[in-house]
Chain A
Amino acid sequence: MSTPANAAVRKNKRSFPEWLRSRDGQKVLVMMAFLIIPMVLLMVFTYIPFAEMVRYSFYNMKYVGARKFVGMKNYIKVFSRKDCFGALKLSLYYMGGSVVQLSLALYLATILSFKVKGGSLFKGFMFFPFLINGIAIGFIFKFFYTRGFVFDTVLQWCGFSLDNLPYWLKDRSINNISLVGTSVWRYFGQNMVLFIGAIMSVDNELYEAAMLDGANRFQQFKYIILPSIKTIFVLNVILSISGSLSAFEPPYVITDGANGTGTYFVIMHQIAHTQQKVGLASAMAVVLLLIIFTVTILQKLFFKYVFKDSVE
Chain B
Amino acid sequence: MKLKKVLALTLASAMTFSLAACGGAPSQAAPGAAEEAGKEEAAEDTAAEEEDEAADTADAAEESAVPSYTQLDLSKYADTQATIKFLHHKTDRAEDGTMDKMVAAFNTEFPGITVEMEAVTDYAEDSLLRLSTGDWGDIMFIPAVDKSDLSDYFMPFDTLENLSAELNFVDNWEFGGNCYGIPYMANAQGVLYNKAVFKDAGITELPKTPTEFLDDLKLIKDKTDAIPLYTNYAAGWTMGAWDAYIGIVSNGDDTYINQKFVHTAEPFKDPGDDTGIYNLYRILYDAVANGLIEDDYTTTDWESCKGMLNRGEIGTMVLGSWAYAQMQEAGDTPENVGYMPFPMTVGGTQYVAAGGDYNYCINVNSSDENKLASMIFVKWMVEKSDWCYNEGGYTVVKGGKNPEMYAAFDGCTVLSDQPAKSGEETYLNDMNAESELSFNAGGNDKVQRIVEAAATGSETLDDIYADWTQKWNDAQEELGITADN
Residues of A within 8 A of B (CB): 26, 29-30, 33-34, 36-37, 40-41, 44-45, 62-65, 142-143, 145-147, 149, 167, 169-170, 172, 175, 255-260, 262, 270-271, 273-277
Contact of B47 with A by CB under 8 A: no
Report chain B residues within 8 Å CB of A257: 445
- Given known contacts A37-B15, A44-B26, A146-B301, what 13 new A-B pairs fall within 8 Å (CB)? A33-B16, A34-B15, A40-B19, A40-B22, A44-B27, A63-B129, A64-B132, A65-B149, A147-B295, A255-B298, A271-B436, A274-B438, A274-B441
Report chain B residues within 8 Å CB of A143: 299
A65-B145, A65-B149, A145-B299 are contacts. A172–B456 as well, Cβ < 8 Å? yes
> How big is the B interface, by class?
35 or more
Contact with A along B262-301 (1 / 0, CB 8 A): 0000000000000000000000000000000001111101
Contact of B465 with A by CB under 8 A: no
The answer to whether B433 touches A277 (Cβ under 8 A) is yes
The answer to whether A170 touches B298 (Cβ under 8 A) is yes
The answer to whether A65 touches B146 (Cβ under 8 A) is yes
Report chain A residues within 8 Å CB of B455: 170
A113 CB, min distance to chain B CBs, angstroms? 40
A143 to B438, CA, bound (A): 30
The answer to whether B8 touches A275 (Cβ under 8 A) is no
Closest to B445 in A: A258
A154 CB, min distance to chain B CBs, angstroms? 16
Closest to B144 in A: A276
Report chain B residues within 8 Å CB of A149: 299
The answer to whether A26 touches B298 (Cβ under 8 A) is no
A–B complex contacts, Cβ < 8 Å, 7 sampled: A34-B15, A170-B299, A257-B445, A258-B444, A259-B448, A260-B452, A276-B144
Report chain B residues within 8 Å CB of A26: 5, 8
The answer to whether B299 touches A147 (Cβ under 8 A) is yes
A65 to B448, CA, bound (A): 30
A169 to B148, CA, bound (A): 43
Closest to B8 in A: A30
B84 CB, min distance to chain A CBs, angstroms? 23
The answer to whether A64 touches B131 (Cβ under 8 A) is yes
Closest to B441 in A: A274
The answer to whether A275 touches B433 (Cβ under 8 A) is yes
Closest to B437 in A: A275
The answer to whether B443 touches A44 (Cβ under 8 A) is no
Question: Which 9 A-B pairs have CB atoms at the shortest separation, nearest pair first?
Answer: A146-B299, A169-B298, A147-B296, A33-B12, A170-B298, A274-B442, A258-B448, A44-B26, A256-B236
Report chain B residues within 8 Å CB of A41: 22
Contact with A along B129-162 (1 / 0, CB 8 A): 1011000000000001110110000000000000
A202 CB, min distance to chain B CBs, angstroms? 42
| Contact residue among B129, B298, B445 (Cβ-Cβ distance under 8 Å from A167) | B298
The answer to whether B128 touches A64 (Cβ under 8 A) is yes
The answer to whether A270 touches B445 (Cβ under 8 A) is yes
A170-B297, A259-B298, A274-B442 are contacts. A29–B12 as well, Cβ < 8 Å? yes
Contact of B23 with A by CB under 8 A: yes
Prevailing SS type, chain B contact patch: helix
Contact of B234 with A by CB under 8 A: yes
A167 to B300, CA, bound (A): 13
Question: Which residues in chain B, 413-450, are within 8 Å of chain A measured between CB atoms?
Answer: 432-433, 436, 438, 441-445, 448
Report chain B residues within 8 Å CB of A276: 144, 433
Closest to A261 in B: B298
A273 to B445, CA, bound (A): 13
Residues of B within 8 A of A (CB): 5, 8, 11-12, 15-16, 19, 22-23, 26-27, 125, 128-129, 131-132, 144-146, 148-149, 233-236, 295-299, 301, 432-433, 436, 438, 441-445, 448, 452, 455-456
A37 to B20, CA, bound (A): 10
A149 to B233, CA, bound (A): 18
A37 to B11, CA, bound (A): 13
A275 to B475, CA, bound (A): 13
Report chain A residues within 8 Å CB of B131: 64
B470 CB, min distance to chain A CBs, angstroms? 12
A277 to B430, CA, bound (A): 11
A34 to B298, CA, bound (A): 53
The answer to whether A63 touches B128 (Cβ under 8 A) is yes
A146 to B301, CA, bound (A): 10
A255 to B297, CA, bound (A): 11
A26-B8, A175-B298 are contacts. A36–B16 as well, Cβ < 8 Å? yes
The answer to whether A258 touches B436 (Cβ under 8 A) is no
Closest to B124 in A: A273
A36-B19, A63-B132, A64-B128 are contacts. A274–B443 as well, Cβ < 8 Å? yes
A63 to B149, CA, bound (A): 12
From A255, A257, A275, residue with most partner B Cβ within 10 Å: A275
The answer to whether B448 touches A33 (Cβ under 8 A) is no
B239 CB, min distance to chain A CBs, angstroms? 9
Report chain B residues within 8 Å CB of A33: 11-12, 15-16
Report chain A residues within 8 Å CB of B148: 65
Closest to A255 in B: B298
Closest to B26 in A: A44
The answer to whether A40 touches B23 (Cβ under 8 A) is yes
B342 CB, min distance to chain A CBs, angstroms? 24
Report chain B residues within 8 Å CB of A170: 296-299, 455
Report chain A residues within 8 Å CB of B144: 276
B111 CB, min distance to chain A CBs, angstroms? 37
The answer to whether A37 touches B19 (Cβ under 8 A) is yes
Report chain B residues within 8 Å CB of A175: 298
B11 CB, min distance to chain A CBs, angstroms? 8
The answer to whether B145 touches A64 (Cβ under 8 A) is yes
Report chain A residues within 8 Å CB of B297: 170
A40-B22, A63-B129, A64-B128 are contacts. A169–B296 as well, Cβ < 8 Å? yes
A259 CB, min distance to chain B CBs, angstroms? 6
Closest to B233 in A: A258
The answer to whether A64 touches B146 (Cβ under 8 A) is yes
A265 to B257, CA, bound (A): 32
Report chain A residues within 8 Å CB of B233: 258
A272 CB, min distance to chain B CBs, angstroms? 10
The answer to whether B433 touches A258 (Cβ under 8 A) is no
Closest to B455 in A: A170
A36 to B15, CA, bound (A): 9
Closest to B129 in A: A63
A44 to B25, CA, bound (A): 10
Report chain A residues within 8 Å CB of B149: 64-65
The answer to whether A30 touches B296 (Cβ under 8 A) is no
B112 CB, min distance to chain A CBs, angstroms? 34
From A41, A62, A145, residue with most partner B Cβ within 10 Å: A62
Closest to B125 in A: A273
